[in-house]
Structure 1
Amino acid sequence: MTAGKHSVGWMILELLTSVIIFLVISTYLSSDDYTVSSSSPPYEHIRVACTPGYVASKAAKIISNYSHNHTTFLQLSDYFWTVNKSLYSLPYGTKGSELEIMQALALTQHYHLPQEIERLECRRCVVVGNGNRLKNSSLGEIIDRYNIVIRLNNAPVHNYEKDVGTKTTMRLFYPESAFFDLRLDANPETLMVLVPYKRLDLQWLKTILNNEKRIKKGFWKKPPMIWDVNPENLRILNPYYMEVAALRLLGLNKKNNKLIKPTTGLMAISFAIHFCDLVHIAGFGYPAPTNKTEFVHYYDKTLMKQLLVSEHKVPLEAIAIKKLLKHNVIHNLTYF
């Protein structure tokens, strides 16, 4: 009899525990806080079959005027013989920066995708964020299985291979974040993709490639003055994807938000949902603003308070990413 009562007691306790856990998770997932966790195991998403046009079909339902009719990278022919009309100036468009674009593109001389990417029937992509939740994730082998691995800014690969992998198809950067090791944090075929936030970014690239007198003023942080990159691996990303990130994913009003710039991470997601047929993300999400001890990145000791004083709108970006996750435009390999 005692054993029976004991068993019934344990059953009731387990039931109550399950209910409490369910309520906690439900509340957590419905929260507007941008540290929300996803309980989906990463290894399920990697097995999802890639269907051509899958992401486009999902994205078109929630993004106004979603379109594939835009070049991936800026091309010299768009500026040399014709007048490329853009509604916005950098970082949302090319208006007013045509000369700097032409000068930079004339030196890179490569504007197209590599053949191994062009001939893919279905592009399976992972955008690897720089978040601290990648630390001890052991996702390295999973990340390396994707056709296209997109990395951000100066996030290192060397010494972090177990968690972040070794493969890099594209690395999106701007001058102030170009401090990654070109030998250790990239593959020989990696595309170095400049995300131009301002005209000075294009001028910096021109001085590097042409070995001219370096520009030192006008940057929020001094960029590399010596940068031994292979021009064949350089590309300049079409600012259209920044426009989509800012004006459609974040819903910003350009006239009233002149200084607001999406992070490279959100812009990379914006690019991926136009470029790929399957988009997974890893390492996105930040600690709560009140968290004074958890680091933002997996590779340094930046704290949340340092990020909150930047021009980026982190809470808005979290809402945008949650929306994309909710509508299955993208999937998460970590938690968000």
Structure 2
Amino acid sequence: MKTYLLYTSMLFISVSSLSSCVTAKRYDDMAARARQAEISKAECEEKIALLDEDKKRAEAQIQSLNSLTARLREDSVRTQDLYSKNKVLLDDLFDKYDRLNKSYNGLLANSAAEAGTLSKNLSEKERELLAMEQNLLANKAQVDKLSADLSAREQRLGELEQILKEKDQAVNDLRDKVNKALLGFKDSGLTVDVRNGKVYVSLAEKLLFKSGSYAIDPKGVEALTRLAGALKDQQDINVMVEGHTDDVPVSKDNACIDDNWDLSVLRATSIVNTLVSKGVPPARLIAAGKGEFSPVEAAKTAEARQRNRRTEIILTPKLDELFQILNVN
């Protein structure tokens, strides 16, 4: 959003500064672009706010789910341990019962008094046994409930893992598709890689623009046409176009460009307009300029500055299905 705000401010400044050197028609056109930029900024702020809320909810629910799963597993282990101990005790009681019963039968013929004592002891043991059986049944019911809850949680975790796996596969497939579409431009300063679940298409300045210009060269149009062909049918992919410059100030000979911020935004907008003209739905596109402030190399050499002068097209898969599962109670 800072990028859009700066872009809008610079566009208004550009319109003001050009009022004395351009025709009224072009002035009106640039003013209309400024108003459209304000509208686009508001729409992007709303979308980003919604995405941030979705992300926070998703992260909170995943953390809660992981915590609950850990607790359920700990409870299951403790219950299983209690069940094992109770079973050992029950087996011991059965063994004692058998021994007492044998003793009772042996002594019954010799002494009615001793038989009465044994009968009392046997009754007490039977009551203890009954109590243990009831405890075991209660523990078993608790274990069954915990197991059912754990199974349900594990099923949801499995669904989440499957969706994430499918998203990773989709990202890799998209990378391969883009690589194939842009194969002929690898030697012209173009790279395609995957970072943080997103596909990054980086295009060097020499492939797209002349120095200090935001007009796309024919070879750059050809590359963007092939990229658009790979993207226009990808309904679940959002496209962010970021313009980057080096730290060398723009030439003052170009009255339409104030600084590197302005140049980077204009370049990103030119690329977005080209992709739209080649069939990519505009609702899935975002144009942003970062000027000189996100370099890939901090050195001040010519080679480092050349690498910093680039355009990055970031392809991000939508995660609506993942958010839908996380919102299930």
Is TM more than 0.5 here?
no
Q: Which band: TM-score by shorter chain?
A: under 0.3
Structure with bigger RCO (C-alpha 8 Å, 6+ apart): 1
* TM-score (structure 1 length as normaliser): 0.25
Q: Which has the larger radius of gyration?
A: 2
